[in-house]
Structures are given as C-alpha cells and as structure tokens.
Copies of this chain bind each other. A is one copy, B any other.
Amino acid sequence: MKVSELGEFGLIERLSKLIPINDKDVVVGFGDDTACINVNGQLLLLTGDIQVENRHFIKDKIDPIDLGWKLISSNVSDVVACGGIPRWGLISLGLPKDLEYEFIHNVYKGFKQALDYYKMFIIGGNTSSSSEIILDFFLVGETERFVSRSGAKPDQAIFISDEIGMSRAGLELLLMGKSSYEDFEKRLIKFHTRPKARIDLQYKIQKYAESCIDISDGLVGDLNHISEKSKVKIIIEKDKLPLNDDLKKYCEKYNKNIYDYILYGGEDYQLAFSVKNENKKYFENIFEIGVVQEGKGIYLKDKENLIKLEPKGFEHL
C-alpha cells in the first residue's frame, strides 16, 4: 500500500495510534490545530507547518518575501485558533546547493516582517541540503485557555472572522499569469500572497469562543472537523455568508459560483468558531453565519431548503 492511498488525514491517524500519549502534562495531543502542554500551570501551544517547493509553492512564481510571511502567518493562525499568542519559533531549512542566497535572504525578510507584526521571535533552527526547497516552521505559543475543536454545543452561534474565498480567487488569478491585472484582481492576489492571521481577535477567542478552527483548508472541510470532534450538526445560513465585493466582481467576470469559493476555498487564514448566545455581543463587528444543533454533518440553509454539504478539504498528500 502506498502512503497516497491513505491520504494525509488517514495516514496521520494511523501513525499517531502507533505512539500513544500517556503524560499528565499533555492537555491535547494530535487532532487539533495545535498540541497543548501544561508547564507548571502555564499552557503552551505547539504547532508546525512544513512547506515543500512545487507542492505548496512554485519558486519562480512566488515572491520569497511573501513565502516567509505566509509560513509564519499560517502557524500563527493555528495558535490563535486555539486561543493563544505566538511566542517562539524554530525554522528548519532544506535548500538545494545551487539555490541563490538572495532567495533565502528574502524569505528571511518576510520572516522579519511577520515576526514584527505578530510580536514574536525565531530562536533556533537547522539546515540541510535537499533537492527541493523545504521550509518547516515550529511555533510555541502561550494561552490561558485552550480553545479546542470539540467545544461546540447545540444552540451556540457559528461565526467566521471575516469575508472568505478571496485567497483562492487570488491564487487562480496568479496562475493565469496575465501580463496585467485590474485593481480588484490585484487586491484578490494580495489576499492570497499576504494573508494576515487574526492576532487581533486572540483575546476574544481565548475568552469567549467555545470551539474554534483555522479555516485555511476551506470552510466546510474545517467546520466538519468541529462537527466531528464536538459531535454536533452545524447549519450555515446562506443569506448570512458575507460576500466580498472583489470576489463578486471576479465571479461575474470569470463566470464562477461565489459559494464555491466561500464554502470550499482555502488559505484565507480566517477563523470559524462557536459562541454561547450570551457572548455574541463580543463579536458584533464580525460575521455570524449559522448555528450548532444536535446531530452531525454540515448543512447549508437556503431559504427553506436544507442541503447537506460534503467536506472536501485540501489534503497535502
């Protein structure tokens, strides 16, 4: 059997069973956006994200400064989704011997911009040669409360932290390789190349979210993780989904269905989370899109119709 037959999630599930965890200081192991340990009463969040050339990025099509920015942002997004702030990172590099120094120098420029923005530091790492460029980032965060995927309960409201779907449109625009882009297209591309993790929401997520997930693999796929871990049904109300103006223009121009982008696009680095009714007031400026009910699965409520949505999250294997 080949590893690709198992898929990313199937492989991780199978392998993690081979190394069971039996440690009273481990609050959360595999299966959430981050692991969580208790160090003398301080909760630490641990996460990592490996980026491989030609799988996650094409060297000649990405600005290395953006590559550095995105790698850190994706890890920060996982930490914020669990309620935490990012603190310390380690970076592992695999670099082809004939890679120009300038490329990795610019990746580090992107790191620096992100480190300053998120107020954190890289404190170690290691390097090897390799045939493809490999960037593997490990991040340690801190939180006072671990917000998991398993805390959703019936009657809680479902929120998303902003409009979504723009990153996928931006990627498609980039891949078109056009010689010039309209202004709204440039803005969509920027959503893809310079996503910002929602560090600004960290305190409210830590305090008031009952469950939360980084929806970088797509809204339905990631809400399905909350649904499965929390053993609940989630209803998304179509009318409540926010429609980004530039994404609307894109879908009109290229004859696309905007809900494909909102429901299944990924890499926006926004958050989906559930909140008790009495705490909805803390999230007035963002988007309540649905509700948690007893049952299972993800449904889209369109006027009176309830349509079951199949999760088709992005797998990296």
Chain A residues at the B interface, C-beta cutoff of 8 Å? 1-6, 8, 11-12, 14-16, 18-19, 21-23, 25-26, 28-30, 34-35, 37, 39-42, 44, 46-52, 54-56, 87-88, 90, 92-102, 104-105, 108-109, 111-112, 115, 121-132, 134, 136, 138, 140, 142, 316-317
The answer to whether B123 touches A26 (Cβ under 8 A) is yes
With contact pairs A50-B134, A105-B15, A108-B15 given, residues A55 and B129 touching in the complex (Cβ less than 8 Å): yes
Contact of A40 among B16, B23, B40 (CB under 8 A): B40
B129 A21 Cβ-Cβ under 8 A: no
In the assembled complex, the Cα of A90 lies from the Cα of B125 at a distance in Å of 14
A29-B121, A37-B87, A48-B126 given; 20 more Cβ-contact pairs under 8 Å: A2-B97, A2-B98, A2-B101, A4-B97, A8-B127, A8-B128, A18-B108, A19-B108, A19-B111, A21-B122, A22-B121, A23-B123, A25-B87, A28-B123, A35-B124, A37-B88, A37-B140, A92-B92, A95-B317, A127-B316
User: Are the C-beta atoms of A35 and B123 separated by less than 8 Å?
Assistant: yes
Residue of chain B at shortest CB distance from A317: B129
Residues of B within 8 A of A15 (CB): 104-105, 108
A98–B2 Cα distance when bound, in Å, is 5
Contact of A19 among B28, B112, B131 (CB under 8 A): B112
- Pairs A-B, 6 closest by C-beta atoms: A35-B124, A4-B97, A35-B123, A138-B138, A50-B92, A18-B108
Do residues A40 and B41 form an inter-chain contact, with CB atoms below 8 A? Answer: yes
How often does this chain occur in the complex, in copies?
2
From known contacts A39-B42, A90-B48, infer whether A317 and B124 are also in contact, taking CB-CB under 8 Å.
Answer: no
Given contacts A39-B40, A111-B19, A34 and B97 within 8 Å (CB-CB): no
Which residue of the partner chain, among B3, B23, B115, B136, contacts A136 with CB atoms under 8 Å? B136
Chain B residues within an 8 Å CB radius of A129: 4, 52, 55, 316-317
**Which of chain B's residues has its CB closest to A125's CB?**
B48
Closest Cβ of chain B: how far from A203's Cβ, in Å?
19
> What are 14 of the A-B contact pairs (CB < 8 Å)?
A3-B104, A16-B122, A19-B108, A19-B122, A21-B121, A22-B121, A29-B123, A34-B124, A37-B87, A46-B124, A48-B125, A48-B138, A52-B94, A130-B132
Residues of B within 8 A of A18 (CB): 105, 108-109, 111-112
Q: When chains A and B are docked, how far (Å) is the Cα of A296 from the Cα of B5?
A: 57
B121 touches A30 (CB 8 A): no
A26 to B140, CA, bound (A): 12
CA distance A128 to B99 in the complex (A): 22
Bound together, the chains give a CA A46 to CA B124 distance in angstroms of 8
* Given A21-B121, A88-B37, A95-B3, A50 contacting B138 (CB threshold 8 A): no
User: Is B127's CB under 8 angstroms from A48's CB?
Assistant: no
A12 to chain B, nearest CB (A): 6
Q: Most chain-B CB neighbours within 10 Å: which of A96, A130, A134? A: A130
Partner among B2, B35, B55 whose Cβ is within 8 Å of the Cβ of A88: B35
In the bound complex, residues from chain B placing their C-beta under 8 Å from that of A88 are 23, 26, 35, 37, 46
